[in-house]
Every structure is written in structure tokens, then in C-alpha cells.
Structure 1
């Protein structure tokens, strides 16, 4: 099992035991506001930790000293596989915002993707209203390639109507990362 380590973090596969730490942040509206899902219950997190433990696209970001799960990264190869494109996404516990953990862990995963998985291109998407997210992508030296207008919806209003949102698209190529 692959473990990616930085000075302060251990980035590893999920385990079923991670549900408590997952619940600590996925149960907060401020955390899931821009995600394609709502607030998670305790039972949801027990099931989600089990699912993620079987899904190689999800990485648990943990403090190295305590093994405390403080966030997660989604890193998955896109189809068609021969294009060597990967997508990255992230969600973190707000108790740990402002410490550089998201930047540190995403850098490590991107580096792993280019060096070990032979990724050619890594992409990310975020809601333009989520300034923390797009600023993180820019700290990672990713370039904003597009602003899609009302291209997707995750949630509906009280009348059951889709709430369409915009998307920023970001990317970085392997040679840009090396340079």
C-alpha cells in the first residue's frame, strides 16, 4: 500500500476506522457547501469510510505525529486512460484551515502523480464562489483554463428546481510542474 509522506503529513489509503474523523468535517455545512453531496450523518460516514477504503481514488490526509485524519484528496485517472489525464479534488476539516496542509498534501499528490503514475496532465474544477479552493489551485501553479457558465448542478431549491452553478477549470502539465 502506497503512503506519501511530507514533513508534517502522511497521505494514505482510507480505513474503516477513519469514519469518526471523516464525520468531524463532513457533518458541517460550511465544508460540503460546494460539494456534490449534503451533510453526512454518523451512519453515512461509517459507510463512506468503508467505501473509500476500497476506492484507490480517495486518499486520507493525516497529521504525521498523531495519524489524525484532517482531510481527503480525490485523485483519479480520467478516461480515456491513454491520455494520461488525472483529476484532483480535496476537502479538509476547517479546524485545520490556514496551516498550509491542503497545499502541502496536494503538492505531494501531484508530484506522486507525475513521477510515479506518469500523469501527463492534472486537472481540477471548483466553484468560482469558492475563493479558498481556486486560490489553492493557483498556489499549486495550476492555470485557469476556463470559466464554464451554469454548466452543472448538485442541488435543488425548495421547488425542486436545479440550482445551476459555474465551474472554474484548472490544469497543469507534467513539463510545467517540472519547470
Structure 2
């Protein structure tokens, strides 16, 4: 996964830049997990990013967390918005999520603007670590997509 080998892409992420072999290994591992979804271009199946989507505990709260990483060559084309919107739809309509959250570094304007385009709202300021939390509830999603 070339995205994880680009320092600029990982600027706001935990973890470090991977070499090509480590990226391939990580991509293989993530492809066997149901919490990472590949984002590929329709016309040629080129991998341009991935979305993380996983249920948080306690499970009875029906909350999932979404996150994303995209290759910087594809920024500004709406791919992250389109893919994230589809994952939110899947979460609310198929998994019956009550709430979906996302964490975002306050300095990462592109990311928090994306979350706001998805109609997620900022819930609070960072206290112990450098991340704002955004969220959207199922009834908010439904109301905005009628």
C-alpha cells in the first residue's frame, strides 16, 4: 500500500512511514480483515486509499469509528468523500449503527472539512491528545438523506 510509504500522507497519523515490502505485508494483512476497506478507482481498480471502519466498545452502544488514508495524488477529487459517505450508509442502513464517530487532528484541515461535508459534528476539543472527535447519529443521517 503505497500510501503508507509517503511521509506527507502519514503526517497526522500514529505510526511511521513503511518501506515498500512492509507496505505490501500490511496491505495483505489488512485485506484479510473486515475492518479495512480498499478504495480503488472504478476504471482500473488502482488502489488509492483505504477506510478503517470498526465497532467500538461497549458493543451495545452500536457505535462504529471511521478513519481513512488516501494517496496524496488523489486528494481533492472527492474520492474520500464518496467512499466515506458509502461507508456511513453501510453502517447506518446495513449494520444498524446508532452512532458513527471519527477522530481528527485539529491541524488536519482537509480531514475535518471532509467530516463536516459528511455532516458530522465536532463534539469536543482535545484534552489529553491532539484529536477532535466528530460524530453523526442514525436519525441525523436519515434526516439528511431523505
TM-score under structure 1 normalisation? Answer: 0.78
Displacement of 1:49 after TM fit? 1.1
- Whole-Å separation in 2 of the counterparts to 1:82 and 1:37: 30
2:15 to 12, 31, 37: 37
- Whole-Å separation in 2 of the counterparts to 1:147 and 1:104: 27
TM-align CA RMSD: 0.8
Point out the structure with the larger strand share.
1
Displacement of 1:93 after TM fit? 0.6
Tell me which residue corresponds to 2:96.
Answer: 118
Query: Given the alignment of the two structures, is residue 64 of structure 1 paired with residue 77 of structure 2, yes or no?
Result: no
Tell me which residue corresponds to 2:138.
Answer: 174
- Whole-Å separation in 2 of the counterparts to 1:72 and 1:127: 18
The correspondence of residues 104-115 of structure 1 with structure 2, limited to 5 A, is 104-115=82-93
- Whole-Å separation in 2 of the counterparts to 1:45 and 1:54: 14
Displacement of 1:84 after TM fit? 0.4
| 1:135-178 residue CA offsets vs partner (Å, 9 max, x unmatched) | 000000000000113x23xxxxxxxxxxxxx2111000000001
The correspondence of residues 151-162 of structure 1 with structure 2, limited to 5 A, is 151-152=128-129
Aligned length: 143
Structure 1 gaps of 5+ residues are: 1-21, 153-165
Larger RCO (CA within 8 A; separation ≥ 6)? 1
The correspondence of residues 1-179 of structure 1 with structure 2, limited to 5 A, is 22-23=1-2, 25-149=3-127, 151-152=128-129, 166-179=130-143
Displacement of 1:47 after TM fit? 1.3
Structure 2 gaps of 5+ residues are: none
Runs of 4+ in 1 over 4 A off after TM superposition: none
- Whole-Å separation in 1 of the counterparts to 2:81 and 2:66: 12
Question: Aligned with 2:131: secondary structure?
Answer: strand
Displacement of 1:62 after TM fit? 0.6
TM-score under structure 2 normalisation? Answer: 0.95
Question: Aligned with 1:118: secondary structure?
Answer: coil
Which stretch shows the higher mean deviation, 44-53 or 123-132?
44-53
Greater Rg by CA: 1
